[in-house]
Amino acid sequence: MSDGIDLELLRAKYRTERDRRIRPDGSAQYRAAAGEFGFYADDPWTPRIERETLHDRVDAIVIGGGFGGLLAGARLRRAGIDRIRTIEEAGDFGGTWYWNRYPGLHCDIESYVYLPLLEEVGYVPKWRYAPGEEIRQHAMAIGRTFDLYRDACFQTRVTEMRWDEDATEWIVRTDRGDEMRAEYVVVTLGALSKPKLPGIPGIENFRGHTFHTSRWDYGYTGDDLEKLAGKRVAVFGTGATGVQVVPPLAEAAGHLYVFQRTPSTVDVRDNRPTDEAWAASLRPGWQRDRMENFLKSVTGVPVEQDLVGDGWTANSALHRRVLPGVTVLSDEQEELVDAHKMNRIRARVDTVVADPATAEKLKPWYRYICKRPCFSDLYLQAFNRPTVTLVDTADSGGMPEIGTHTVAGYEIDCIIFATGYEAGVTDVMSGRMLIHGRDGVTLLDSWKAAGPRTLHGMTIPGFPNLFLMSFLHAVTASNFVHVLDEQARHIGAIVAEARSRAARYVEPAADAADAWVATIAETAVDNYDFQLDCTPSFYNNEGHPVRSSLAAVQYGRGPIAFFDLLREWRSTDGFAKVLH
């Protein structure tokens, strides 16, 4: 017993609950929304527009039109680059906020730190946690502010790019038959962009309607979900998406069946409209200060005032297993604080959910950061409606029996998959988009023997004038847009410097890249044991963690140290190591 909590008993309970959910097929249990299931990933928002193929030359190509691509475009524009072409599969800017338009969609990080370039665009979000449509509109506003629509190329996928040694530029080919040339290329494809579906046997025999939350079918549901009145709707998935989409569905559907395999932690949200007087009082530089204050607060660095003051910053000590920062607690203290936190999360279920059996099923039994924490003041409440049924499928591994019009024996008209994304799968890492560098060597081949080789995760030996923006050889953060922002600033600074020094190309010196690879290895954090004890999720390869897999490709001292290191590199002429 420690501080009134029997940790041994709790550990045993966590293990039992984890074991109920571990499947031998791990990540292979899912089906990609590709091939015969490719229609699940079709674009419901923009009809395909035919256009002439492009055979031209621009100054820079940015592959990816989400916040990463928008930030890269903005910083390249600030670096004086004229022709910037974003190439994006979607029909407009926005990335995940283009695709995801499900009812209830909000950002789950405070919008004043999450939405990038607020001061540059001259905008203050209307809500503390902005709805998805406001975020999408802001993405488009960034595109307009930085004149990124001029050369943008939507509904287009890059299939291959090749370095032309003689011309010192890239040749980029697409699925539209384009062949474009550019001095610089930035690749920023996101980490959770490919929808996945549960591989439930017999699901293809279901004759009702189905779709994935990231491709919401408003034609079926109606714009205000009015067409769901009288319909029996099933939702699969109770992660960050499920928690947001269940409340509006509960209100609209004739009957809602929530098929849950693992409950999320659902803490207080406390969303509220932006205080206009506060917005009017903001002074230049406020957003950067706030982002840095949030990052410090969430990684346990003492601050004079925690400006955001929400569920993310309040639980900073419990994030360090996925977000390296300041270690303020010993392992034992951390486990105890975790146990208290989870007890409060479980107690909240009892205070909100009236039916004790339903409440019991909604209680999460794992360490706090085993899954992405969720926040809602509507989700648990939805289960008090007589028209909402929680169906726990943990013991069947989430594989209920599916008939032509039934799921687990319930008559169902429509199944909505809130089952998430293939984690870390991008066209670059899967080889769907081939990058041929010097001597025609592909990026994947050059990394095959000894793993990734980069400087700061952004520049790569053998691949001149190419920049990557991702967590690879870099860092993650609760607010990943902050990472993208720092990366875009860094790339913009390198390109500006290359221009002012009339450099022929940008490529890291071999010793600089080797030193960075060594730094990644030295700082690697081994959370294998922690992840092994966690309930399955995409955080731990569905319960089959690979020793140090993620840590091995990340800078283990965390985001604050990483950003400091980049600033220091720039101010001490690190440029000399990459400009030729």
Q: Which residues bind ligand NDP (CB under 6 A)?
A: 21, 106-108, 192, 198, 200, 236-242, 244, 259, 261-262, 372, 393, 398, 418-421, 536-538
In whole angstroms, how far apart are CA 279 and each of 122, 136, 273, 283, 286?
11, 21, 11, 9, 10
Q: In terms of residues, how long is the chain?
A: 580
Rank residues 87 and 135 by Cβ distance to ligand NDP and give the closer one: 135
Q: Residue 164 pairs with which residues in a beta bridge?
A: 169
- Minimal distance, residue 423 CB to ligand NDP, in Å: 8
What's 41's DSSP letter?
A: G
CA atoms of 120 and 147, how far apart (whole Å)? 13
Give the up-direction half-sphere exposure of residue 219: CA atoms within 13 A in the CB hemisphere.
6
- Minimal distance, residue 230 CB to ligand NDP, in Å: 24
Dihedral angle computed from the Cα positions of residues 57, 61, 65 and 68, in that order, rounded to the nearest 10 degrees: -160
Tokens describing residue 380: 């648990």
- Minimal distance, residue 417 CB to ligand NDP, in Å: 8
Q: Residue 235 pairs with which residues in a beta bridge?
A: 258, 416
Rank residues 383 and 575 by Cβ distance to ligand NDP and give the closer one: 383
- Minimal distance, residue 3 CB to ligand NDP, in Å: 29
CA atoms of 217 and 237, how far apart (whole Å)? 17
Rank residues 79 and 374 by Cβ distance to ligand NDP and give the closer one: 374
Rank residues 162 and 372 by Cβ distance to ligand NDP and give the closer one: 372
Rank residues 182 and 243 by Cβ distance to ligand NDP and give the closer one: 243
CA atoms of 72 and 60, how far apart (whole Å)? 10
- Minimal distance, residue 439 CB to ligand NDP, in Å: 38
Helices marked H in 211-283: 218-221, 240-252, 276-281
Q: Sort 407 into a burial class: Cβ within 10 Å, 0-12 / 13-18 / 19+.
A: buried
Rounded to the nearest angstrom, the gap between the alpha carbon of residue 166 and the centroid of all alpha carbons in its chain is: 38
Rank residues 81 and 402 by Cβ distance to ligand NDP and give the closer one: 402
- Minimal distance, residue 133 CB to ligand NDP, in Å: 13
- Minimal distance, residue 106 CB to ligand NDP, in Å: 6
CA atoms of 103 and 216, how far apart (whole Å)? 8
Rank residues 93 and 99 by Cβ distance to ligand NDP and give the closer one: 99
- Minimal distance, residue 209 CB to ligand NDP, in Å: 18
Rank residues 312 and 516 by Cβ distance to ligand NDP and give the closer one: 312
| Phi, psi dihedral angles at 465 (to 5 degrees) | 55, 20
